Amino acid sequence: MARMYSGRKGKASSTKPSKATKLSWIRYKSNEIELLIAKMAKEGKTSSQIGLFLRDVYGIPNIKQISGKSITAILKEKNLLSKIPEDLMALIKRSITLRKHLESNKHDMPAKRGLELTESKIRKLVKYYKKTKKLEKDWKYDQDKIRLLIE
C-alpha cells in the first residue's frame, strides 16, 4: 500500500503464517495473558505497546491466536480502553509537538506542511471513527482543548 501524501510505496514487512497452528512452546494460558494485558493497561500502556512487550519479554507472538480475542477486544471488555483511539491520539500528539516547534520557528515551511498533513489525517480519522461509532457524534477536534487534555 502506498503512503498517503507522497509518491513512495509502503514499507516491506514480514507476513504472518498462512496456517494457524498451536504454538507448543508458549506456557501461558488465555486467562493469564488477559491478566497481563489488564495490568499493563492500568500502568498506562497503549495496546500496541502491550503487544510489543508481550512479544519481547514474554515470548507471546500472537495474542489473538492464543486467546481468540485481540488486545483491544480484551481491553474493551475490561473497560480499560481509552475514549480516543490510539492512532488518533498519536496523530494529535504529533500535531501538538509540531505546533510547539512552529511557535519558535515561524519560517519552517516543511514543518508547516507536516502540520497541515497531520491535521488532515486527524480530520479523516475523526470522520471515520464517528461513522463507526468509536467516537461520539458531537466530538470535535479543537487544538486548544485537546492540548489541555493531553498535557
Domain CATH number, residue 124: 1.10.287.10
pLDDT at position 109 is: 97
Domain that residue 115 falls in: 86-150
Residues 73 and 109 in one domain: no
pLDDT tens digits, 56-75: 999 888 888 888 899 999 99
- The answer as to whether 140 is a domain residue is yes
Residues 145 and 94 in one domain: yes
Residues 99 and 60 in one domain: no
Average pLDDT along the chain: 88
**Cα distances (angstroms) measured from residue 9 to each of 3, 12, 115, 133:** 6, 9, 22, 31
Q: Are 54 and 60 in contact (CB under 8 A)?
A: yes
- The model carries a pTM of 0.80
Query: In percent, how much of the chain has pLDDT > 90?
Result: 60
**Nearest-angstrom CA–CA distance, 75 and 27:** 22
The number of domains in the chain is: 2
Average pLDDT over residues 88-96: 93
The residue among 44, 77, 110 that closes a domain is 77
pLDDT at position 66 is: 87
Average pLDDT over residues 116-135: 94
Confidence of residue 148 (pLDDT cuts 50, 70, 90): confident
The grid cell for 22 is 498451536
Residues 98 and 144 in one domain: yes
**Nearest-angstrom CA–CA distance, 69 and 20:** 14
Q: Best-predicted range by mean pLDDT among 55-69, 84-98, 134-148?
A: 84-98
pLDDT tens digits, 21-54: 777 888 888 899 999 999 999 999 999 999 999 9
Angle 109-131/86-104 helices, nearest 10 degrees? Answer: 160
- The answer as to whether 133 is a domain residue is yes
- The answer as to whether 144 is a domain residue is yes
Residues 145 and 91 in one domain: yes
Residues 109 and 72 in one domain: no
The residue among 77, 101, 116 that closes a domain is 77
Residues 92 and 71 in one domain: no
Average pLDDT over residues 102-131: 95
